[in-house]
Amino acid sequence: MAKIVLARIDDRLIHGQVMTAWLQYTGGNHIIIVDDQTAGDEFTKTIIKMAVPMGIGLDILTTTEAPTIINALSDDKKIIILTKGPSTYVSLIENGVSITDVIIGGMGANKNRSKFYKNISASEQEKTEFRAIISHNVGLKVHVIPDEKSVAVGNLL
C-alpha cells in the first residue's frame, strides 16, 4: 500500500503552500483531493490539474470512491491527501483508510464558523468531527506551514 505522508484539511485545497512547502517537506509524489463537489466539477478539476507540478500524480475523488482507490495505490506512492473539512477524514478512517495524523492548515471564516485558533475557524459540527477523528487514535493538530510549530487540537477543544 502507498504511504500517506500528509493528510491536510484546507478549504482552499491546492495553493502555493501545498505546492511548495508541503510537497518539498513531505517528499510527496501523488496528491489525492477528496471532495465530492470538486470531483463533480470538470472546470475546477482542470484548473487544479494545471496547478500540480510535472511529475506529481493527481486524483480528484469522491468520498465514496476514495477509500478503495487510496488503499489500492502502489507502494511507490507517497500520498498527500487534501480535503476541505474534517468530515471527509472521519469517513475515510471509518472506511478503512489507515491515517495516523491529520493536520488543519486552512479553515477560513464563514457564517457557520467561529474562531477556533488564530486564523482557523470551525463550526460546532466540525468540532464534533475533530473529536471523532481523535477518537480513532488519529493525531489531529493545527499546522499551517512546515516551519511553524504544530498545536494539538485536543488541547483546544
- Tell me the catalytic residues: 15
> Do residues 36 and 62 touch, judged by C-beta distance below 8 A?
yes
Instruction: Give the H or E element holding residue 137.
Output: none
> Do residues 105 and 67 touch, judged by C-beta distance below 8 A?
no
What beta strand segments (E) does 18-74 contain?
30-34, 57-61
Q: Which of 17, 157, 10, 152 is nearest to 89 (CA)?
A: 10
Cell of 123: 463550526
> Do residues 122 and 113 touch, judged by C-beta distance below 8 A?
yes
